[in-house]
Amino acid sequence: MELFMVTSNIHKFVETREFAKEYGIKLIQKNIDIQEIRGTLEDIIMAKAKKAYEEIKTPVICDDSGFFIDSLNDFPGEFSRFVIEKIGNEGIIKLMENKESKGAEFRCMACYFDGSNFKLSLGIVRGKVIDEIRGRFGFGYDPIFIPEGFTKTFAEDFEIKMKTSHRKKAFTGLFKKISETK
């Protein structure tokens, strides 16, 4: 089975393509220019999937993800892309300088839409923000995030990311739901 994944982010596509293989699904990246709405991860991704379906008239999957830091009231959250482009991981490290609590999580809301039905699946991975940039794999906030139970950042140990990440959990759940209704 082939499915279109709507994303402009090649890293997200490459990760998700691996998870899809286990379910016999071949993913094809589709980069459609869609203006994202403001809202929760769920609002954003459902609106995006709907617009994408209207454009290509084929079932689509996509995800909206973000990095949520406890002591910053979940910032950058839904603004994760904008924030990393503006202040980078260096900026986040500065914002965290005087914070005692380092807890943070990645969230990924994966969505499937076939023109009439939606399927949604949320994945979360908890961990902590560190005060330096470590590692060269992955993307985004990976170099400053260590998942619970480990000592390396997602950017230092990509295998751990592929086994434990928010995206792994979200899409494994989504692909299960899709396979069950086939």
The SS3 assignment for 173 reads helix
Q: Which of 33, 43, 64, 131 is catalytic?
A: 64
Residues 75-94 that bind ligand ITT (CB under 6 A): 80-81, 84
> Mask 96-115, x = binds ligand ITT (CB under 6 A)?
----------x---------
Catalytic residue list contains 33: no
139 contacts ligand ITT (rule: CB under 6 A): yes
138 contacts ligand ITT (rule: CB under 6 A): yes
Token pair for residue 99?
A: 């914070």
Q: Is 82 exposed, middle or buried (0-12, 13-18, 19+ CB in 10 A)?
A: exposed
Question: In b/e form, how buried is each residue of 20-49, taking b as 16+ CB within 10 angstroms?
Answer: beebebebebbeeebeeeeeebeebbbbbb
Q: Which residues bind ligand ITT (CB under 6 A)?
A: 7-9, 12, 63-67, 80-81, 84, 106, 138-142, 165, 167
Residues known to be catalytic: 64
